Amino acid sequence: MADDLKQAGPEDRSRINVNEAHEVRYWTERFDVSEAELRKAVAAVGVSAKDVAEHLGKN
């Protein structure tokens, strides 16, 4: 199922897709981090939103 670009956030809120601009916007705002910080965290711990939140100290 393709992403609905009219939605504000990701379809699957348990995973972060840094290849979709609307998801990057959503997660950077949610975690209050830059795009570079988000990408670095995803590279370090994977795409799990829970793991990225923990890595960023945003529990």
Q: What pLDDT score was predicted for residue 59?
A: 76
**Rounded to 10 degrees, what is the CA torsion of 33, 34, 38, 41?**
-80
DSSP state for residue 57 in the 8-state scheme: T
Full-model pTM: 0.81
Q: What percent of the chain has pLDDT over 70?
A: 81
**Rounded to 10 degrees, what is the CA torsion of 39, 42, 33, 30?**
120
Confidence of residue 7 (pLDDT cuts 50, 70, 90): low
3-state percent breakdown (helix, strand, coil) of the chain, nearest 5: 50, 5, 45
The predicted model gives 38-56 an average pLDDT of 97
Q: What pLDDT score was predicted for residue 1?
A: 43
- Average confidence score pLDDT of the chain: 88
- The yes-or-no verdict on residue 15 having pLDDT over 70 is yes
Largest CA distance in the chain: 32
